[in-house]
Homo-oligomer: A and B are copies of this chain.
């Protein structure tokens, strides 16, 4: 059983999860790339994952059998488990709680050789519908305070399986970084009665120097203070605090923009490892004026070193204005 522990000084939480190896000899440096025959995410291998929670599948196909285009399954090695009561405990000066939460995997395609950007816009749209449906469902569990959706593509971005997938984790607490971001947005709103993200969008669309690509519903921008080279944020043009309120029309526009953006990044940077994360408001309260959900995408081109770990202060060699120019001038792949 995993455990949540809080650092008493900085206030950060960690998940101590011993589901995977923890001895010194367990930390190998080479990626564990299972051959296709053993990939648990491939079509025909449905029995190698826990039973599916959600799927898009052919009309007459049965759950956990062939005939699907997308599946959501519980993570077989979850960082947090859904069973049990949440127990908060003291430990002398320290605080901890048992590892209650949900940890799900979105298998984005039945085919091993595809990556997200090579899927059709319709298939990419299904990935974003799956996120929405799962968050809506997890929000019904009163133990959960926050839901994070993220994707790791490539071994150096933390992916342990190559088959295209993303993950959803529901947490019993709102992480400190999220609280910090929410707090910053709330302070701005209290001062100006405007959403800071809406103001950023207005300035960026006016200046037009850090916009990478846009359509009727979304803009992809190189943020003003990017931690990483080619970091890109995708924001809905209309104010909305919670990802799970995204409409079907918006999902179609998002799928189109994601495909366009990934193709540009993959052309410019030769298929870099990357992570994306959906930043959205905490679960219990749906809808607020000050926070604006968005996606942050970071290509993993540089390694974080002692300076970053010691200060939380990033050194980035690429000005976002330059990154935007590089990405804008590329034509997306056909």
Contact = CB atoms under 8 A, between A and B. Distances in A.
| Max chain B Cβ within 10 angstroms of own Cβ: one of A23, A207, A303 | A303
A236 to B, nearest CB: 16
A182 to B, nearest CB: 9
Contact of A15 (B5, B92, B272, B316): B316
A319 to B, nearest CB: 5
Interface string A1-22: 0000111111111111111111
A150 B27 contact: no
Contact of A311 (B175, B310, B317): B175
| Max chain B Cβ within 10 angstroms of own Cβ: one of A16, A93, A279 | A16
A203 B92 contact: yes
Interface in A189-220: 196-197, 199-200, 203, 207
Contacts of A318: 16, 18, 22-23
A166 B307 CA distance: 11
Nearest to A92: B203
Interface in A278-334: 278-279, 296, 298, 301-307, 309-320, 322, 326
A313 B184 contact: no
Interface string A152-179: 1001111100000011010100011110
Contact of A313 (B21, B177, B185, B309): B177
A239 interface: no
A88 B122 CA distance: 47
B8 A315 contact: no
Q: Is the interface of A mostly helix, strand, loop or mixed?
A: mixed
Contact of A9 (B92, B152, B184): B184
A14 B310 contact: no
A188 interface: yes
Contacts of A315: 14-15, 17, 79
A181 B91 CA distance: 21
A180 interface: yes
A166 to B, nearest CB: 8
A41 interface: no
Contacts of A188: 8-9
A119 interface: no
Given A12-B225, A14-B227, 12 more contacts: A5-B225, A7-B223, A12-B314, A13-B225, A15-B316, A20-B317, A22-B322, A79-B315, A150-B307, A156-B303, A177-B311, A275-B305
Closest 5 CB pairs of A and B: A158-B305, A150-B306, A277-B310, A177-B312, A275-B306
27 contacts: A6-B225, A8-B200, A11-B184, A12-B225, A12-B312, A12-B313, A14-B227, A16-B316, A16-B317, A16-B319, A20-B317, A23-B326, A24-B268, A27-B229, A27-B302, A79-B315, A91-B224, A93-B196, A151-B306, A152-B305, A175-B312, A175-B313, A177-B313, A277-B306, A278-B310, A296-B309, A304-B304
